[in-house]
């Protein structure tokens, strides 16, 4: 049996990772991405678990890494005193750094922008993907990596919808060079958390847009989790200055001035001096709402859901991207083991990925509830270590 012809719907990090792996296996792969232009920086920094950059580390080793390492996991109090500083080796990057590297590895020829999946016919012998421009494409396997608001999932399982967790992440970056000497020293080698009343913030360095990973060229990323209940506060926050109601993300430039002013004024009251500098130094703040998404199924005939399209994690284990990549690696392994037979591969692939996603979802939900609502997040708790499989891994 030959390798299947693969269509990947959604060309972000999850879709691109599956695409390069299946292409390298010998499949003919096309990526169909809804956006008209190459994807832009979303959500600034990300924690990079080993599987997220495995494609690069396995091919080239140290020089091909797309992240930087910080060696301390630190908690600070409001005054800036260090409550705990554990030696650690987590890696950090920018979403766009990884996206650009994957896109370069895949190449532009089969990466099709402006191609929105609107439906499919999932037959026993082939799958036909229907696009918003009226055209259709045929394949043997359709990998749907179309994110939390997945079109494919809404067709297959309309009852599986993301549930708002009751809080959002305020996010942004500040150039390291613009910070005070004290802040630069604090952040030189540390990711810093501060546990707040019904919330928390974490701050860490990531490479700059040129990929530079050493001080003072890096940028400093912050992620501040704050509660906005549904039924008023959340909807008000997510309405932009033109009255447009947004569901998941308020991109830079869309958050209303009154909310920016309130956020900065609260920051002055509650944040440690170094973290405050990072937040105040950012002039392109964005907001991402936090959701849970459970799904009972990931494989459907010749189609599968991967990444956020299948199961959406709260960000506290920093593994959403890693899970999307893990789904792609496991799919590659399953196709290899099944000699390219799509049905056998998907049947072997699905149970492990469902179990992995649901376990991570349960863990990250507990963490969110503890920090945002129960006030039981404890500085230095080893269970807070990032990881897809377990804390630290």
Ligand X SMILES: Cc1cc2nc3c(=O)[nH]c(=O)nc-3n(C[C@H](O)[C@H](O)[C@H](O)COP(=O)(O)OP(=O)(O)OC[C@H]3O[C@@H](n4cnc5c(N)ncnc54)[C@H](O)[C@@H]3O)c2cc1C
Enumerate binding residues for ligand X (CB under 6 A): 9-15, 32-35, 39, 43, 46-47, 52, 116-117, 145-148, 151, 169, 223, 288, 307-309, 315, 318-322, 324
What's phi and psi for 134, nearest 5 deg? 95, -10
Beta bridge partners of 175: 219
Query: For ligand X, which is the closer residue by CB, 30 or 140?
Result: 30
User: What is the rounded CA–CA span in Å between residue 300 and residue 163?
Assistant: 23
Least separation in angstroms between residue 132's CB and ligand X is 8
Query: For ligand X, which is the closer residue by CB, 4 or 43?
Result: 43
User: What is the rounded CA–CA span in Å between residue 36 and residue 352?
Assistant: 34
265 HSE (CA, 13 A, CB side): 6
DSSP 4: P
Sorted by sequence, the CB contacts under 8 Å of residue 226 that are 6+ apart come out as: 167, 168, 169, 170, 199, 263
Per the listing, tokens 């269970």 go with 383
CA angle 85, 45, 195 (to 5 degrees): 40
- Give the closest residue to 247 by CA, choosing from 319, 158, 147, 315: 147
Least separation in angstroms between residue 83's CB and ligand X is 22
Query: For ligand X, which is the closer residue by CB, 153 or 184?
Result: 153
Query: For ligand X, which is the closer residue by CB, 330 or 340?
Result: 330
Sorted by sequence, the CB contacts under 8 Å of residue 62 that are 6+ apart come out as: none
Sorted by sequence, the CB contacts under 8 Å of residue 221 that are 6+ apart come out as: 44, 45, 92, 94, 171, 172, 173, 203, 204, 205, 206
Least separation in angstroms between residue 228's CB and ligand X is 14
Least separation in angstroms between residue 2's CB and ligand X is 26
Least separation in angstroms between residue 12's CB and ligand X is 3
Least separation in angstroms between residue 170's CB and ligand X is 9
Q: Which helix (H) or strand (E) holds 15?
A: helix 13-25
Query: For ligand X, which is the closer residue by CB, 23 or 340?
Result: 23
Query: For ligand X, which is the closer residue by CB, 205 or 340?
Result: 205
Query: For ligand X, which is the closer residue by CB, 8 or 346?
Result: 8
Least separation in angstroms between residue 180's CB and ligand X is 26
User: What is the rounded CA–CA span in Å between residue 382 and residue 73?
Assistant: 10
Query: For ligand X, which is the closer residue by CB, 34 or 184?
Result: 34
Least separation in angstroms between residue 369's CB and ligand X is 16
* Cβ burial 75-107 (10 Å sphere, 16+ → b, else e): bbeeebeeeebeebebbbbbbbbbbbbbbebbe
Query: For ligand X, which is the closer residue by CB, 47 or 195?
Result: 47
Contact criterion met (CB below 8 Å) for 145 and 18: yes
Query: For ligand X, which is the closer residue by CB, 190 or 321?
Result: 321
Least separation in angstroms between residue 31's CB and ligand X is 9
Least separation in angstroms between residue 216's CB and ligand X is 23
Between the CA of residue 59 and those of 8, 168, 351, what are the distances in Å?
Answer: 22, 37, 28
Instruction: Count CB-CB contacts under 10 A for residue 308.
Output: 26
């Amino acid at each position: 049996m030959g390798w299947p012809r693969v269509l990947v719907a959604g060309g972000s990090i999850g879709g691109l990772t599956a695409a390069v792996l299946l292409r390298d296996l010998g499949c003919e792969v096309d990526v169909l991405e809804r956006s008209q232009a190459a994807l832009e920086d979303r959500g600034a920094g990300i924690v990079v678990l080993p599987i997220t950059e495995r494609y690069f580390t396995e091919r080239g080793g140290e020089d091909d890494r797309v992240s930087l390492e910080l060696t301390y996991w630190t908690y600070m109090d409001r005054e800036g005193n260090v409550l705990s500083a554990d030696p650690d080796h987590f890696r950090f990057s920018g979403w766009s750094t990884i996206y650009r590297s994957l896109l370069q590895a895949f190449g532009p020829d089969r990466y099709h922008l402006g191609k929105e999946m609107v439906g499919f016919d999932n037959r026993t012998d082939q799958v036909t993907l229907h696009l918003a421009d009226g055209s259709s494409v045929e394949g043997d396997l359709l990998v749907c990596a179309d994110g939390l608001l997945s079109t494919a999932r809404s067709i297959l399982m309309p009852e599986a919808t993301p549930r708002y967790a009751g809080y959002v992440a305020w996010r942004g970056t500040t150039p390291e060079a613009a910070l005070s000497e004290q802040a630069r020293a604090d952040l030189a080698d540390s990711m810093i958390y501060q546990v707040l009343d019904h919330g928390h913030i974490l701050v860490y360095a990531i490479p700059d847009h040129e990929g530079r990973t050493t001080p003072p060229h890096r940028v400093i990323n912050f992620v501040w989790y704050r509660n906005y209940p549904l039924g008023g506060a959340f909807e008000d926050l997510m309405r932009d200055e033109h009255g447009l109601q947004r569901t998941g993300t308020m991109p830079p430039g869309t958050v209303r001035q009154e909310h920016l002013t309130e956020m900065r004024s609260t920051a002055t009251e509650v944040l440690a001096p170094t973290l405050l500098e990072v937040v105040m130094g950012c002039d392109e703040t964005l907001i991402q709402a936090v959701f849970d998404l459970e799904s009972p199924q990931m494989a459907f005939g010749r189609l599968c859901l991967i990444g956020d399209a299948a199961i959406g994690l709260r960000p506290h284990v920093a593994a959403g991207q890693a899970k999307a990549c893990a789904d792609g690696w496991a799919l590659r392994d399953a196709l290899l083991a099944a000699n390219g037979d799509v049905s056998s591969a998907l049947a072997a692939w699905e149970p492990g990925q469902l179990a992995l996603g649901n376990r991570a979802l349960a863990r990250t939900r507990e963490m969110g509830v503890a920090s945002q609502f129960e006030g039981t997040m404890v500085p230095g708790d080893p269970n807070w270590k990032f990881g897809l499989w377990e804390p630290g891994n």
